[in-house]
Amino acid sequence: MHKEIAFLVIFSSVVQYGEQRKQISIGIFLDDDDQYELSTIAVSSIVRRINLFTRTDYLLRPHIFRVSNGDLLETGQLMCQLIERGIAAIFGPESPEINEMIQSVSSGVEIPQFQTFWNPKLASTNRSIQGIFNLHPTPKGLSQALSTLVRENDWNSYTVLYENEDAVLRLQEALKRRSPADPAVQFRNLGSKDNHRTVLKEVKSSGVLHLILDCETAHIMDILREARELKLLSEFHSYILTNLDAHTLDWSEFKDVRTNITAFRLLDTENKNMKHAVLVWNQMLKYDWFGPVHNIALQKELELFRKKKPFSEIRPHDLHTKTALLYDALNLFISVYSELDTKEKLTLKPLSCESYETSSHGRKFANRMKERNQELPLLLEPLTGDMWKFDQNGYRSNYKLQIIELYATEFRMTATWRSKYPNSITLALTEKDRDTELKEKIQQRTFRVVSRLGDPYLMQAVPPNGKSLYGNDRYEGYSMDIMKEICKPENLNCSYTFELVPDGMYGNYDPKTKQWNGLIKELLEYKADLGVCDLTITYERRKAVDFTMPFMTLGISILYAKAVKEPPELLSFSHPLSFEVWIYIATSYLIISITMFLVARMNPNDWENPHPCDPYPQELENIWTIRNCCWLTLGSFMAQGCDLLPKGISTRMVAAMWWFFTLIMGACYTANMTAFLTMSRMGPTIESADDLAAQTKIKYGCLEGGATSSFFKDNNFSTYHRMWVQMESAEPSAFEKNNKDGVKRVLTSKRKYAFLMESSSIEYEMERNCELMQVGNNLDSKGYGIAMPNNSPYRKSINEAILKMQEMGILHRLKDKWWKEMNGGGKCTKDKHSTDAEAAEMGLDNVGGVFVVLAAGVILAFLIAMCEFLWNVRKVAVVKHLTPKEALIKELKFAMNIWARKKEVTTSGLRDISLETLEPKM
Distance CA 906, CA 330 (A): 159
Residue 8 has pLDDT above 50, yes or no: no
Residue 827 has pLDDT above 80, yes or no: no
Mean pLDDT of the 544-564 span: 89
* Whole-number pLDDT of residue 710: 85
Residue 205's CB is within 10 A of a number of other CB atoms, namely 8
Name, of 107-111, 298-302, 661-665, 670-674, the range with top average pLDDT.
107-111
Residue at which a domain ends, from 681, 712, 744 = 681
Calculate the CA 195 to chain-centre distance: 37
Distance CA 427, CA 81 (A): 50
Residue 373 has pLDDT above 80, yes or no: no
Listing DSSP states for 271-299 in one string gives -HHHHHHHHHHHHHHHS-SSSSTT-HHHH
Annotated binding site: 536, 541, 708, 758
At 71 the three-state DSSP class reads coil
112 lies in a domain? yes
* Whole-number pLDDT of residue 645: 80
Question: 152 and 244 in one domain?
Answer: yes
At 13 the three-state DSSP class reads helix
* Whole-number pLDDT of residue 372: 62
835 versus 226: the higher-pLDDT residue is 226
* Whole-number pLDDT of residue 846: 59
CB contact burial 877-901 (16+ within 10 A = b; e otherwise): bebbebeeeebbebbeeeeeeeeee
CA angle 362/78/46 to nearest 5° reads 60
Mean pLDDT of the 576-600 span: 83
pLDDT, tens digit (0-9, with 9 covering 90-100), for 394-429? 888 889 999 999 988 889 999 999 998 999 999 888
* Whole-number pLDDT of residue 861: 63
* Whole-number pLDDT of residue 526: 86
- Helix (H) or strand (E) holding 437, with range, is helix 431-443
* Whole-number pLDDT of residue 519: 94
Question: 617 and 518 in one domain?
Answer: no
- Helix (H) or strand (E) holding 61, with range, is strand 58-67
Strand partners, 804: none
Question: 352 and 416 in one domain?
Answer: no
The candidate with the shortest Cα–Cα distance to 274, out of 429, 402, 127, is: 402
Residue 499 phi/psi, 5° resolution?
Answer: -135, 150
* Whole-number pLDDT of residue 837: 46
The candidate with the shortest Cα–Cα distance to 85, out of 357, 349, 360, is: 349
Sequence-distant (≥ 6) Cβ neighbours of residue 713 within 8 angstroms: 724
Label residue 666 by pLDDT band (50, 70, 90): confident
- Number of helices and strands in the chain (H, E): 31, 30
The identity of residue 758, as a single letter, is E
170 versus 200: the higher-pLDDT residue is 200
pLDDT, tens digit (0-9, with 9 covering 90-100), for 500-543? 999 888 998 888 888 899 999 999 888 999 999 999 998 889 98
Mean pLDDT is lowest, of 115-129, 234-248, 292-306, 904-918, for 904-918
Peptide bond connecting 137 to the previous residue in cis, omega within 30 degrees of 0: no
Strand partners, 396: 390
* Whole-number pLDDT of residue 292: 59
* Whole-number pLDDT of residue 843: 60
Strand partners, 239: 211, 261
Percent of all residues in the chain with a pLDDT value above 90, rounded to a whole number:
22
Residue 459 has pLDDT above 70, yes or no: yes
The candidate with the shortest Cα–Cα distance to 31, out of 87, 98, 88, 80, is: 98
CA distances from 425 to 239, 401, 458, 704, 813 (A): 18, 10, 46, 49, 45
* Whole-number pLDDT of residue 850: 60
pLDDT, tens digit (0-9, with 9 covering 90-100), for 605-652? 777 777 777 777 777 777 878 888 888 888 887 877 777 788 877 888
Q: Under a CB-based contact definition with an 8 Å cutoff, are residues 305 and 26 in contact?
A: no
- Please report, for the domain that includes residue 628, its CATH number: 1.10.287.70
What total number of domains does the chain contain? 5
Question: 148 and 99 in one domain?
Answer: no
Distance CA 84, CA 404 (A): 45
Question: 378 and 290 in one domain?
Answer: yes
Question: 443 and 348 in one domain?
Answer: no
pLDDT, tens digit (0-9, with 9 covering 90-100), for 738-763? 888 999 999 998 888 999 988 888 98
105 lies in a domain? yes
Residue at which a domain ends, from 498, 526, 545 = 545
Residue 806 has pLDDT above 90, yes or no: yes
Residue 917 has pLDDT above 60, yes or no: no
Question: 180 and 36 in one domain?
Answer: no
Can you point out the beta strands (E) in 344-494? 400-407, 410-418, 421-427, 446-451, 459-460, 475-476
Helix spans in 240-352 (H): 272-286, 296-308, 321-344
- Please report, for the domain that includes residue 125, its CATH number: 3.40.50.2300
Q: Under a CB-based contact definition with an 8 Å cutoff, are residues 133 and 390 in contact?
A: yes
Distance CA 384, CA 664 (A): 109
Distance CA 87, CA 348 (A): 7
Question: 454 and 509 in one domain?
Answer: yes
What is the separation, in whole angstroms, between the first and last Cα of the chain? 162
Label residue 245 by pLDDT band (50, 70, 90): very high
Sequence-distant (≥ 6) Cβ neighbours of residue 200 within 8 angstroms: 223, 226, 227, 230, 232
Calculate the CA 432 to chain-centre distance: 23
Report the sign of the C-alpha dihedral through residues 4, 9, 12, 15, in that order: negative
* Whole-number pLDDT of residue 919: 43
Question: 126 and 19 in one domain?
Answer: yes
The candidate with the shortest Cα–Cα distance to 683, out of 572, 567, 565, 575, is: 565
* Whole-number pLDDT of residue 122: 80
Label residue 353 by pLDDT band (50, 70, 90): confident
The candidate with the shortest Cα–Cα distance to 621, out of 641, 642, 600, 598, is: 600
Listing DSSP states for 547-615 in one string gives E-S-SEEE-EEEEEEPPP-PPPPTTGGGTTS-HHHHHHHHHHHHHHHHHHHHHHHH-GGGEE-S-TT-S
Distance CA 346, CA 88 (A): 10
CA distances from 649 to 597, 599, 634 (A): 14, 10, 20
* Whole-number pLDDT of residue 911: 43
CA distances from 688 to 556, 714, 747, 854, 875 (A): 12, 20, 19, 45, 76
The average confidence (pLDDT) of the chain is 82
Residue 840 phi/psi, 5° resolution?
Answer: -105, 0
Question: 22 and 133 in one domain?
Answer: yes
719 lies in a domain? no
Name, of 547-556, 597-606, 909-918, the range with top average pLDDT.
547-556
> What is the SS3 assignment for 603-649?
CHHHEECCCCCCCCCCCCEECCCHHHHHHHHHHHHCCCCCCCCCCCH
* Whole-number pLDDT of residue 6: 33
Residue at which a domain ends, from 666, 681, 696 = 681
61 lies in a domain? yes
738 lies in a domain? no
β-pairing, 446-451 vs 459-460, is: unpaired
pLDDT, tens digit (0-9, with 9 covering 90-100), for 881-890? 888 888 888 8
The candidate with the shortest Cα–Cα distance to 190, out of 156, 167, 158, 157, is: 167
* Whole-number pLDDT of residue 12: 39
693 lies in a domain? no
Listing DSSP states for 820-869 in one string gives IISTTTTTTHHHHHTHHHHHH---HHHHHHHHHHHHHHHHHHHHHHHHHH
733 lies in a domain? no
Question: 133 and 282 in one domain?
Answer: yes
834 lies in a domain? no
- Please report, for the domain that includes residue 478, its CATH number: 3.40.190.10
Residue 611 domain boundaries:
572-681
Residue 477 has pLDDT above 90, yes or no: yes
Mean pLDDT of the 65-91 span: 87
Name, of 56-60, 381-385, 569-573, the range with top average pLDDT.
381-385
758 versus 307: the higher-pLDDT residue is 758
CB contact burial 356-379 (16+ within 10 A = b; e otherwise): eebbebbebbbeebbeeeeebebb
Annotated binding site for L-glutamate: 536, 541, 708, 758
Distance CA 387, CA 401 (A): 14
Question: 258 and 286 in one domain?
Answer: no
The identity of residue 650, as a single letter, is S
pLDDT, tens digit (0-9, with 9 covering 90-100), for 316-347? 888 899 999 999 999 999 989 988 888 888 88
